[in-house]
Structure 1
């Protein structure tokens, strides 16, 4: 099904400091692509996790830090984070303003797991 979808604002989730909106995914008929819009409050971070698909994250605004493979890399607006499948990672807001990101995934729904391989329940999934 082809469709035009209104872009909703991210809403607070059960993960402290993270607001989320799924802009496109399985509910829209997609199987090989998901698009998430997220806002991380100052000091907030994602839990350590990995995906069974490739991920690209575009930073729309704010200052962040990516923790992966024993490294910490700072990033800001106009940066893109390239996260191949199976890589444990965390994203943190290290600035004083919200960190605004757009994540694109090569699968829908997005398979998300803890570093030990156990599924990571995401609060925006019903």
Structure 2
């Protein structure tokens, strides 16, 4: 299938976040994945670590990238480049939804924090 209608894709929700797998193994893609993600105002991703490089296109909204011990503020449209092996978190600190496109070669995994 060459055209994938997003209305027919699964919409995964977490607190303040919507995730849509736009291109993944279920669509025959093997070398990379593309996800559409929206963070509502005040929402944030879990702390993640990524084994491969990750590119996040911020289409609209504003936020903070928490990486390498400090926040880096951004507003869309822009591109965030997350190096392989980096632990990071994204926070929507703007007044509108943060619209993101994630492109990666392996899914990120949650970072376990000491209790």
Structure number having the greater strand percentage = 2
**Superposition pairs of residues 1-126 of structure 1, within 5 angstroms:** 3-8=2-7, 11=11, 13=13, 15-107=14-106, 110=107, 112-116=108-112
TM-superposed CA distance for 1:96, in Å, is 1.1
1:27 aligned counterpart, secondary structure: helix
Would the aligned equivalents of 1:10 and 1:39 in 2 still touch at CA under 8 Å? no
C-alpha distance 10-68 of structure 1, shift in aligned 2 (>3 A): farther
Distance (whole Å) between structure 2 residues aligned to residue 67 and residue 101 of structure 1: 16
Q: CA RMSD in A?
A: 2.0
CA distance in 1, matches of 2:85, 2:28: 25
Distance in 1 (CA, whole Å) between partners of 2:40 and 2:73 is 16
Large movers: runs of 4+ above 6 Å: none
TM-score calculated relative to the size of structure 2: 0.87
Quote the Cα distance in structure 1 between the aligned partners of 2:33 and 2:87. Answer: 19
Aligned 8 A contact 1:68 1:90 in 2: yes
- Residues of 2 paired with 1:77 and 1:42: CA distance? 14
Question: Unaligned stretches of 5+ in structure 2?
Answer: none
Deviation at residue 113 of structure 1 after TM alignment? 2.1
Describe the superposition over 1:61-89 as per-residue Cα deviations: whole angstroms up to 9, x where unpaired: 00110000102011111210001221000
Report deviation, 1:106.
Answer: 1.8
Separation (CA, whole Å) in 1 of partners of 2:10 and 2:102: 13
Structure 1 unaligned spans of 5+: 118-126
